[in-house]
Amino acid sequence: MPEKVSGLRLYVMRSMYLLNFVLIGSGVWVEFIHRQKPWDPIVGVAFSFWAALSVLSALGLRYPLAMLPLILMQLFYKTFWMFAVYLPLRAAGRSMTAPRSGATVRRTDQCIRPY
């Protein structure tokens, strides 16, 4: 017989989904609507990923346990990014300057990092 999840944990998960939906979605969808020129393929993939993450986070508000792999995936990709990209650049003394088109999304994404 499966154990029940406490109401507090469900509300904590729902708040994480809500933060994902609002913070990431607000930056991504503004960039989608107001872009001036076509994006490079890598930038387009990144924005598409963040847009999908924000939409799926909205589903997490209704189905928090079913969408838990979404939060785990977010935790893992940010952990890999930190070890594979950020720390080597920081050790080399190079700054992490973001292109102007993606700065808003990166700022909102940094607000909800799990570390």
Query: What is the tens place of the pLDDT at every residue in 59-110?
Result: 999 999 999 999 899 889 889 988 998 888 888 888 665 444 455 555 545 5
Q: Which pLDDT does position 115 carry in this prediction? A: 37
Q: Which residues form the domain of 60?
A: 7-111
Contact of 61 with 6, CB cutoff 8 Å = no
In terms of pTM, does the model score above 0.85? Answer: no
Q: Which pLDDT does position 10 carry in this prediction? A: 92
The b-or-e profile of 38-54 (16+ CB within 10 A means b, else e) is: ebeeebeebbeebbebb
Q: How many domains does the chain have?
A: 1
Residue 1 lies in a domain: no
Residue 61 lies in a domain: yes
Give dist(CA 95, CA 105) in Å, integer. 18
Residue 54 lies in a domain: yes
At residue 1, does pLDDT exceed 50? no
Residue 73 lies in a domain: yes
Could you tell me how far CA 88 lies from the centroid of its own chain? 21
